[in-house]
Structure 1
Amino acid sequence: MSTTALDNHTQFQSIVGQIRTLAYKYIEDKDFVSAQLAFQKLLELDPTDINARFIYAQLIDDGSHKKRAEARDMLLAILDEHPEIFNEPSEGNLHLIRNAAVRCSHVGPFTRSMELFRKLARASNLAADYFSLSEILTQNNEFEEAVAALEKTIKLDPAYDNPINRETLELARSNVKKGKARDVKGRAKVGRYPETKDFLGDLQTLITNHIAVNLAAAPKFVDKSTRFFTMGSCFARNLSKSLTDSGYASHHMEISEYINTTFANRVFVDWLRDATIDPEIRDRIVELLPPGSSKANTLSVIRQANVFILTLGVAAAFFDRETGAFVLPRPSALNSRALAEKYKFRTASVQENVDNVLYLINFVRSISPGIKVIVTVSPVPLLTSFEYESVVQADCLSKSTMRLVAHEVVNNSNLENIWYWPSFEVFRWAGSNASSFFAADDGAAWHVSEDKVSATVRAFVQTFSPA
């Protein structure tokens, strides 16, 4: 190195040293704003300074998710670049690991948080670290290890031997014992919200592992000989088409794409069973039947079906202002606006819809007693509301109502051989975390992606089919 280069290097090191001294002085004086700026400058000049990176990561964490994640990434980068830190349990190294583990427990990834807390607790042998390990293990359903970590916590520090932790241990041991006595899937129902990587990964895996996970032990009754009958909203038609495209026999009964309420389904059933109904509604049903459909062939399809998929559409419908009776409108935009003046457009209650759905299922089972029933909620939004100015809010109310209807029918109506399939959750929750669930095919915000429908059907078939 030449004399000039040596002088420049010495001068550079002197400047770095001065900034470092100033940065630490700001920390001592609790002037954290100035400290952050000083450490930022220090890292621009010397990005290899591990201590400066560690301190700067803590300084930028203002409690917001964005900054906490930024701090987490800086701390994890240090640990990834210097794995020897885990083998040298100095106070500073343990503090670094602890900070990284805590931030992972706040903003994920939770698996990394568990990994870090495991290493930290073993290295520090501190009660507080074992207690934190127990907490993060519990959140991730690692109950047996969580119990052991809490027991270790109390052993290391009797201060943790308090009534709350003793009760926690007693209940946890009981749950672990029950879990061992029965199938693992029979343990306490504890779920964890999927991470970003899960939402952005394979959709079928996301559905199986995080959305329809409760159906893992469901009976396996679907094979290529299974005959499906679908009814309800236009989404039921999408499911039926996807099943047919996959080689399954499926028939969709659609009164009209625009009539997707349980009230319309109920009057359709009344028409099928020759019940007394309003003559205008009877004529409208006949008018709206798809070409080639009739009462006789519809009944025949139901009798031959093995699985009935009912998709609940929307909760809002037209009703007579004086009598309160359901009105079956003509599906045109102009006519709907006229009807909005003549009739009352309202969101029907959960109980009204539950009664309609049970009426429909009871009829289907009266002519096909052994049929399996799958209830879903359509993710397709309400397009127009004459009740609320914001259709987004109206749609939220409508879908929330129908989701409660599905829950009540499936879980609280004493029906057997009935399951809820979470199509709504797949599109609205997975779709809110990943793109292309809506509008992918034609740009319409209210049209679901055919590709995602197909993936949903594949997950459905996988869930209810033998391995």
Structure 2
Amino acid sequence: MTAQPAAPATFEAIVGQIRDLGYKYIQEKDFISAQLAFKKLLELDGKDINGRFVLAQLIDDGSHKKRAEARDMMLAILEEHPEIFGNPSEGNLHLIRSAAVRCSHVGPFAKAIELFRKLAHASNLAGDYFQLSEILTQGSFFEESIASLQKAMELDPANFDTPTNRETLDIARSRLSAPAPKTEKEKKKIGRYPETEVFLGDFQKLVKDHIAVNLKSEDRFINKSTKFFTMGSCFARNLSRSLVTNGYVSHHMEISEYINTTFANRVFVDWLSDRDIDDAIRERIVSLLPGGWSKENTLQVLRNSDVFILTLGVAPAFFDRVTGDFVLPRPTALNSRVLAEKYVFRTTSVRENVENVTYLLDFIRKISPGIKVVVTVSPVPLVASFEHESAVQADCLSKSTMRLVAHEVVNHSNISNILYWPSFEVFRWAGSHAGSYYAADDGAAWHVSEEKVAGTISAFIEMFSAA
């Protein structure tokens, strides 16, 4: 008898062989080959739920990108098959748990909370309740978080009824039983870093609810009769211009970007106070005054202003190599480069700048005792550095210094009626998540977007407007 040819393998048989091969590779820890096998499996049968889940786990190499890719694959399965939540088999619970864990790692946290809630109630396992307790803190569900931790301890006391968890539970319960805070400022709040969709969403909501959120309880001190005086760099000029556009009276004292330091602010105060200062510095101040400005009308505008906005610029400044005295150079790039050889150009300290700003504000308050002080940090970068080869690193050091100065002055200098407005954070932090904060108008990387400046001022006005 002649041998009969083997019957062609059925589709189901081929799929089964590929699946078996994929599991064999997993047992052998050959995960690359396993991925290829399950990808081939899904090419043949894209609806294979188990194959999709296995591949999602295989591609998760721990990196954010691959973890997010695995998360999306798992969430797609759950969205297409909602019946999984009603059938708490071991495999289904494993899928829900895996998706929840990945959401807790790379977001969205709201989805992680939703999945862990469903998982814990379906599995009734201590570990799932413990994870639920942890992720609930991301959504500030404090009471539910406590209850979930307690549930985990009751279900598995050997692993979860620990001294640390008992202490946590005791402290949490005492906080719940404590009298409710009488004011907003007494409440202990937890700040959460916004998710990407928040940064890319409504700009005003981002500023008010995630960046300047701590200022919501501040007094509303702005109305249409409020007069502003801004001082500092070109960013302060943009602020003043935007205020005028919004119908407010605002005067701006221009200080060149090259010398926008608190040391320049200090000698300017000395000039206004008729103190004995170096003749060269006096001449430079007079030459830097905007057209039509004088000592007398500067003092008059300050006396008539209701809000003084001080924009802190840069930390580096020029100093005499012999005496160590501050030097006020001419505001041109060439002269600054030449003077960098003649003088010391260094990044000044937080303490030096705090002393200078305090000195300035003490003078402002003598001129106008009831004036509201708003401190900001200019987001405009340091265009050049004669101290560091990388202007980017120099700018980071400079802005970090000035942000600390603002914090110290506003929070630890015993100055009343003062606040910090986070325009710097709006541009540097929100701007790192979106592409329209710098160079939007002219392509220059060091120029801030006029639209975003206007939006920042709109948020400022809306937050503090009494009318």
- TM-score band by shorter chain is over 0.9
Query: Do structure 1's residue 299 and structure 2's residue 299 form an aligned pair?
Result: yes
Q: Is the 8 A contact 1:175 1:188 kept in 2?
A: no
Give the superposition deviation at 1:273: 1.1
* Structure-1 separation of matches of 2:289 and 2:414: 33
Equivalent position of 2:135 in the other structure: 136
* Structure-2 separation of matches of 1:185 and 1:150: 28
* Structure-2 separation of matches of 1:145 and 1:375: 39
Equivalent position of 1:175 in the other structure: 175
Q: Is the 8 A contact 1:438 1:446 kept in 2?
A: yes
Equivalent position of 2:232 in the other structure: 232
| Residue identity matched to 2:328 | L
The within-5 A match list for 1:6-155 is 11-155=10-154
Query: Do structure 1's residue 163 and structure 2's residue 163 form an aligned pair?
Result: yes
Equivalent position of 1:4 in the other structure: none
* Structure-1 separation of matches of 2:81 and 2:59: 22
Q: Is the 8 A contact 1:178 1:187 kept in 2?
A: no
| Residue identity matched to 1:66 | K
Q: Is the 8 A contact 1:175 1:187 kept in 2?
A: no
Q: Is the 8 A contact 1:196 1:433 kept in 2?
A: yes
Partner SS, residue 429 of structure 2: helix
* Structure-2 separation of matches of 1:180 and 1:122: 31
Question: Which is worse superposed, 202-211 or 74-83?
Answer: 202-211
* Structure-2 separation of matches of 1:34 and 1:334: 62
Partner SS, residue 277 of structure 2: coil
Give the superposition deviation at 1:341: 1.1
Partner SS, residue 359 of structure 1: helix
* Structure-1 separation of matches of 2:217 and 2:398: 31
Give the superposition deviation at 1:67: 0.5
Q: Is the 8 A contact 1:259 1:331 kept in 2?
A: yes
* Structure-1 separation of matches of 2:451 and 2:239: 11
* Structure-2 separation of matches of 1:459 and 1:190: 22
Q: TM-score normalised to the size of structure 1?
A: 0.95
Compared CA separation, residues 391 and 194, structure 1 to 2 (3 A): same
Equivalent position of 1:206 in the other structure: 206
* Structure-1 separation of matches of 2:217 and 2:324: 43
| Residue identity matched to 1:42 | L
Equivalent position of 2:290 in the other structure: 290
* Structure-2 separation of matches of 1:178 and 1:294: 58
Question: Which is worse superposed, 351-360 or 251-260?
Answer: 251-260
Q: Is the 8 A contact 2:207 2:213 kept in 1?
A: yes
* Structure-2 separation of matches of 1:141 and 1:82: 30
Equivalent position of 2:215 in the other structure: 215
Question: Which is worse superposed, 197-206 or 404-413?
Answer: 197-206
Give the superposition deviation at 1:185: 6.2
Q: Is the 8 A contact 2:233 2:255 kept in 1?
A: no
* Structure-1 separation of matches of 2:448 and 2:80: 44
Equivalent position of 1:449 in the other structure: 449
Partner SS, residue 355 of structure 1: helix
Equivalent position of 2:366 in the other structure: 366
RMSD value, Cα: 1.6
Give the superposition deviation at 1:33: 2.6
1:311-357 deviations in Å (ceiling 9; x for gaps):
00000011111111111111112211111111111111101100000
Question: Which is worse superposed, 446-455 or 247-256?
Answer: 247-256
Partner SS, residue 435 of structure 1: coil
* Structure-1 separation of matches of 2:82 and 2:185: 37
Q: Show structure 2 runs of 5+ residues with no match.
A: 1-6
* Structure-1 separation of matches of 2:13 and 2:113: 42
Compared CA separation, residues 179 and 384, structure 1 to 2 (3 A): farther
| Residue identity matched to 1:429 | W
Partner SS, residue 401 of structure 2: helix
* Structure-2 separation of matches of 1:178 and 1:253: 50
How many residues are matched?
460
